[in-house]
Structure 1
């Protein structure tokens, strides 16, 4: 895999000697290069038409999204499965671990007809600790989903959006042959939504804090299920 390391950030800015502006430019550029290399830039995947409306993923910006996400994470259903209830600092720490990381996980807001209504994490499952618990393939891409508030739950929307985002991954990540998820087996609505959206349950695995259903959607079976 090509390296994203830049030995002399000044060269990035077109200078031959170090300059503070060059270092600032490199600091902004490196996370973008990592995301582009590891996840093929979810920010550029665009909007798609679904039976529920126009849907798009927008990578998280803390200054814009933290208050909204904190509210979502404190809803009872979200708190039960995400364990991020509490003040904004709790949600911020969870997001910063991804935003300041190596680009292998991108947190996003899902917009439906322009309205923010879901939280997603698109991540490299083969580079994640999850890979210790199953036989990972190169470029396996994982997804986590939270549908916000009760107005968007219980009407099949999760199934529609899971299929949509799995298709976005497969359309925009040509090296990825499988989309992976690991919902808690106790979360019956989530498991059912994955099954209805074309995933199959490969096995059950023990993860820290939960027993999970390993859900897989394969590119080769994309048009069959």
Structure 2
């Protein structure tokens, strides 16, 4: 399949189509941007059979405990860091304020900029108050809504963003800024701590990525591929413990799958997620300089 990008958005990979959760969760796919995955259905045997990474792998107990707690307490407010990670949390500040949460993604706000063929690219963590109208407008683009399923009034997008911003740090929503102009939306998340980990042989510190390109003028022409390359490079350069970047675009989103392949990801398997049948895409650190 030749790497072509459509005029839609860019489908990330780890997002499938689920309701927002404190993690990346999985929502629908974005149009050339991938969307999150919601609750995921178990991967069918036929999906795993074709995965060259398939192992008889048992997830660590701490990961399973996180998922079990999430299912048991679905709808409840996320735990504060001190409650979820008693060995890492600090004493709550006087006055009942929320203690600092554990930095599970090594501070995307401080990753800096990277040159691309289309200008200087940077990830800026979302401020809901500042960025809601912009992101909500993108979510109401029919090409994006078909995969992200977040169209509607601003509160729909606000709930999705706040679930991450006020969550436990497993997923961080970011604006993709090109030469100072916000033009895309990213979700960077811990795939190994996400329900997605139930559907592939996850490794510690696997990092997932969802992407949508906001403006029609920025879609196509190789922009999605360039942004994916840049975002992946920022992750691998700033997360030394991360050996792989993971994505799971909807198989129907051909432009998105193509963009990931052109950006150096490899197709590992087809997986059945709750909202879609996805292409599991992987980019390994060891091959990043070659692809």
Larger radius of gyration: 1
Q: Partner residue of 2:200?
A: 134
C-alpha displacement at 1:51, in angstroms? 1.0
Q: Partner residue of 1:68?
A: 134
Q: Distance in 1 between matches of 2:128 and 2:200?
A: 32
C-alpha displacement at 1:4, in angstroms? 3.1
- Aligned residue for 2:100, secondary structure, equals helix
1:144 to 196, 210, 220: 210
Q: Partner residue of 1:117?
A: 183
Q: Partner residue of 2:241?
A: 175
1:120-141: CA deviation from partner (whole Å, max 9, x where unpaired): 0000000000000000010000
Establish whether residue 161 from structure 1 lines up as the match of residue 227 from structure 2: yes
Q: Partner residue of 1:30?
A: 100
- Contact kept? 1:52, 1:157, Cα under 8 Å: yes
C-alpha displacement at 1:149, in angstroms? 1.9
TM-score of the pair, normalised by structure 2: 0.69
1:195 to 252, 261, 265: 261
Q: Partner residue of 2:89?
A: 5
Establish whether residue 39 from structure 1 lines up as the match of residue 81 from structure 2: no
Deviating beyond 6 angstroms after TM superposition, the runs of 4 or more aligned structure 1 residues are none
TM-score of the pair, normalised by structure 1: 0.89
Alignment of 1:74-93 (within 5 A): 74-93=140-159
- Aligned residue for 1:40, secondary structure, equals coil
Give the root-mean-square deviation of aligned CA atoms.
1.3
C-alpha displacement at 1:208, in angstroms? 0.8
C-alpha displacement at 1:9, in angstroms? 2.0
The count of corresponding residues between Structure 1 and Structure 2 is 207
Q: Partner residue of 2:116?
A: 50
- Aligned residue for 2:224, secondary structure, equals helix
Q: Structure 2: 5+ residue runs without aligned partners? A: 1-61, 63-84
2:288 to 207, 222, 225: 222
- Aligned residue for 2:252, secondary structure, equals coil
1:135-172: CA deviation from partner (whole Å, max 9, x where unpaired): 00100000000001210001110000101100100000
Q: Distance in 1 between matches of 2:274 and 2:261?
A: 23
Q: Partner residue of 1:212?
A: 278
Q: Structure 1: 5+ residue runs without aligned partners? A: 11-18
- Aligned residue for 1:220, secondary structure, equals helix
More helix by share: 1
